[in-house]
Amino acid sequence: MRYWQVDRRQAEGQLELGRALDLVAAIGHADVNAMAGAILKTASTAAPIAQCTIFAYEFGNRPRTVAVADRRGGRFLQDIADSYARHYYALDGNQSVIAPAARPRREPAIVLHQQASDEIRHPGYRAACYQRPNVSDRLALLVQPASDIWLSVNFYRDSSQGQFQPGEIAAIETLSPLLAYAARHHYSLNGQPPQGVSPMMLARLRQHGPQLSKRELDVLRGVLEGLTAVEIADTMGIQSSSVTTYQKRAYKRLGISSQRQLFALCLGPQAI
């Protein structure tokens, strides 16, 4: 498991014009999965890749699936993505990259993160997201469209293809600035959630509660969206009793005792 920042000044190489046009045409496309499909086709010119998923990590909250593309078709990859977002995202090695930085970066970074199946210690995570979909390796392209927001463009390798080889990774790295910019602009135009809690409210919540766990933040987001404990539990894939426990614990950390006080905290003055 490793990660490194892409040096865009070193990017050299050529790309077939048709692939570039497909990538540009997918930006802002009404088909929610068009961008993932175009990126998968483009990246596959550098290495054999079975699947591509684009996740958005917004304000430290549970990731949201922006787009998926699977050469096998069907909903299988979407279901795997949903399971990852519900149960396993906090175990992902990419958390060491996308965790809130102590100091803001001067320039949005492009980072590559590699995580193979045999490097995952948690048996449930490994089984659900690697063994079940027959994935041996994942190369993630991480880029920031805005402060406190990361996009992760994930490339999955089929077990029959083995792990990504150094030459293949280098070829994908050459394409990564183009792919990152395409994903970032698509997100700006058509990848953001159409409804839900205001990003400003979520950011304010994190400012007031930096000690909150990811599960506690997920529960509070559901509360702010007006969901019941049962609905939050279904979204997170946990028991409703666990939702109540997380909610009480979060309220205690924030020094509040009600949903009304939670809204007041998120809409009130910025924490210093």
Domain boundary residue among 191, 207, 234?
Answer: 191
Question: Which of 1-5, 72-76, 98-102, 254-258 is predicted least confidently?
Answer: 98-102
> pLDDT of 103-161, one tens digit each?
455 556 899 999 999 999 999 999 999 999 999 999 999 999 887 889 999 999 999 99
pLDDT in tens, 212-267: 988 898 899 899 888 999 999 988 889 999 999 999 999 999 999 999 999 888 87
State the CATH number of the domain containing residue 245. 1.10.10.10
In a domain, 21, yes or no: yes
- In total, the chain counts a number of residues equal to 272
List CB contacts of 237: < 8 A, sequence separation 6 or more. Answer: 83, 86, 87
The owner of tokens 């058509």 is: 190
Beta strands in the chain (DSSP E): 2-5, 51-58, 64-70, 110-116, 135-146, 149-158
**Together in a domain, 173 and 45:** yes
The chain-wide mean pLDDT, for the chain, equals 88
Q: How many domains does the chain have?
A: 2
Is pTM beyond 0.85? Reply is no
Residues 46 and 110 in one domain: yes
Considering only CA atoms, which of 181, 267, 194 is closest in space to residue 224?
267
The boundaries of the domain holding residue 117 are: 2-191
Residues 33-43: pLDDT tens digits?
999 999 999 99
* 272 pLDDT higher than 50: no
Which string of DSSP letters, residue by residue, matches 99-133? SPPSS--SS--EEEEEEEGGG---HHHHIIIIITT
Instruction: Looking at the structure, tell me whether residues 170 and 210 fall in a common domain.
Output: no
Helix-strand-coil split of the chain, %, nearest 5:
50, 20, 30
Picking from 75, 85, 163, 91, the residue whose alpha carbon sits closest to that of residue 124 is 91
Does residue 272 lie within any of the structural domains? no
Residue 258: strand pairing partners: none
Domain identity same for 106 and 224: no
